[in-house]
Amino acid sequence: MICLFDDLVTAVDIHLRPEMSHFEVELDKKRENIYKRLRDQSPDKKPIGPIRLPKNGAINILELAKAINQNSSPITSEQFALQMIVTSPKVRFSLSP
């Protein structure tokens, strides 16, 4: 990547556009089941799953939502989005004078 600037630059932030956010799940090695690491879990806890991935690759959203909410009261769309949506990290390059 080459960046050209017309003036002195003190910092550059590089990140994907916000509309590039996406749902994220983890596949097992055999690519048969998916897992989801919840946001409020500590790193030492295991992710939820396994949730069987059908041959067509389509994720059963209802089954995933129930697993996220651990089969308690119905999960809201906000709770589902909070757990599922992932954005890319921002990288900042700073130059000190």
Burial class from Cβ neighbours inside 10 Å (0-12, 13-18, 19+) for residue 34 reads buried
Cα distance between residue 66 and residue 54, in whole Å: 17
Beta bridge partners of 14: 91
Cα distance between residue 66 and residue 15, in whole Å: 32
Comparing 76 with 44, which gets the higher pLDDT? Answer: 76
Structure token pair of residue 48: 């939820």
Q: Which residues are CB-contacts of 63 (< 8 A; sequence separation ≥ 6)? A: 51
Looking at residue 39, its pLDDT comes to 72
Q: What is the mean pLDDT of residues 14-36?
A: 81
Does residue 10 contact residue 28 with C-beta atoms inside 8 Å?
no
Does residue 85 contact residue 21 with C-beta atoms inside 8 Å?
yes
Q: What is the mean pLDDT of residues 20-45?
A: 76
